[in-house]
């Protein structure tokens, strides 16, 4: 029994270490970043959004829309699995869910405001596939947007290559492809582009392009509903 408990604890520590390494390769523990979201419809029509994001610790994120003009000034807040959208014309924050999308397209709010994988998932299985590791991740609770992730991780860079996202009934919702490794400076080297593929959104495609990632510390007060209308101050 003692040996079993010891092995279980060791497995848990190793799981946390792998996911923690992947998380830190993708984003510093606290940072600011700029990203562009591009939604492409079946007829080729594109709609683009430019976002500024501030991340603190493993479970807090503020996003501010900079473009287009019709969305400028809108802001979102994520604290754990709780999410809100601030609309200037409304003057208050509205509750939103992880499976909704503030921009439409294939990316949902959870994809756009991604927390650390280690915060939301446990590693239940790992296989060496030669050039990459295949990780099976299980959601820690039923509030997480995807029940299971099948992640391919580049062994050289410890960054994802692709992630399949499943429901609790094992239905594949979408696949995320991580592309174009980029050196953002300060030791941050990660894929700069994330693309989607989904049978549920036939003919539709969404792309996320990271333009800048910089380590930066923020106060806890910045990640509150009371200060969501001041999100632009975080850029200074």
Q: What is the DSSP letter of 233?
A: G
Residue in the block written with tokens 């099948």? 150
Q: Which two tokens stand for residue 76?
A: 């979102």
H runs (alpha helix) in the chain? 2-26, 109-112, 117-120
Residues 6+ apart with CB under 8 A from 59: 78, 79, 80, 115, 116, 119
Predicted confidence band of residue 9 (pLDDT cuts 50, 70, 90)? very low
CA pair distance 52, 35, nearest whole angstrom: 7
- What stretch of H or E contains 126? strand 121-128
Choose the weakest-confidence range: 8-17, 60-69, 99-108, 205-214: 8-17
Q: What is the pTM of this model?
A: 0.90
- What are the domain boundaries of the chain? 2-235
- Cβ neighbourhood burial of 218 (10 Å; 0-12, 13-18, 19+): middle
pLDDT at 91 (0 to 100): 81
Query: In Å, what is the CA distance from 53 to each residue of 78, 102, 139, 157?
Result: 11, 14, 24, 24
Query: Are residues 190 and 26 in contact, defined by beta-carbon separation less than 8 angstroms?
Result: yes
Give the β-pairing of 46-56 and 60-67: antiparallel
Predicted confidence band of residue 92 (pLDDT cuts 50, 70, 90)? confident
pLDDT at 16 (0 to 100): 57
* CATH homologous superfamily, domain 2-235: Lipoprotein localisation LolA/LolB/LppX (2.50.20.10)
Neighbouring C-alpha atoms within 13 Å toward the C-beta of 77:
23
Q: Is pLDDT above 60 for 7?
A: no
Tens digit of pLDDT for each residue in 170-202? 999 999 999 999 999 999 999 999 999 999 999
Q: Pick from 194, 189, 147, 154: which is nearest to 171 by CA?
A: 147
Instruction: Please give the distance of CA 64 from its chain centroid, rounded to a whole number.
Output: 15
| Exposure letters 7-30 (e unless 16+ CB within 10 A, then b) | eeeeeeeebeebbeebbbbbbbee
Q: Which two tokens stand for residue 103?
A: 């921009």
Q: Pick from 45, 48, 83: which is nearest to 63 by CA?
A: 83
């Amino acid at each position: 029994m003692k040996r079993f408990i010891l092995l279980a604890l060791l497995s848990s520590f190793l799981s946390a270490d792998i996911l923690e390494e992947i998380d830190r390769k993708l984003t510093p523990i606290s940072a600011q970043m700029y990203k562009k979201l591009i939604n492409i419809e079946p007829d080729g029509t594109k709609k683009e959004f430019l976002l500024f994001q501030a991340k603190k610790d493993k479970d807090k994120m503020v996003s501010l829309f900079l473009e287009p003009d019709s969305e400028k000034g809108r802001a979102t807040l994520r604290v754990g699995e709780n999410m809100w959208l601030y609309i200037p014309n409304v003057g208050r924050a509205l509750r939103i869910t992880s499976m909704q999308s503030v921009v439409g397209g294939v990316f949902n709010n959870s994809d756009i405001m991604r927390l650390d994988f280690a915060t939301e998932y446990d590693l239940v299985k790992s296989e060496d596939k030669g050039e990459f590791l295949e990780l099976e991740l299980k959601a820690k609770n039923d509030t997480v947007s995807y029940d299971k992730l099948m992640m391919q991780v580049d062994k050289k860079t410890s960054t994802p290559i692709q992630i399949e996202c499943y429901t609790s009934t094992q239905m594949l919702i979408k696949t995320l492809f991580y592309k174009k490794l980029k050196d953002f400076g300060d030791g941050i080297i990660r894929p700069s582009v994330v693309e989607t593929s989904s049978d549920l959104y036939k003919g539709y495609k969404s792309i996320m392009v990271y333009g800048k990632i910089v380590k930066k510390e923020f106060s806890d007060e910045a990640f509150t509903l009371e200060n969501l209308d001041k999100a632009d101050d975080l850029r200074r």
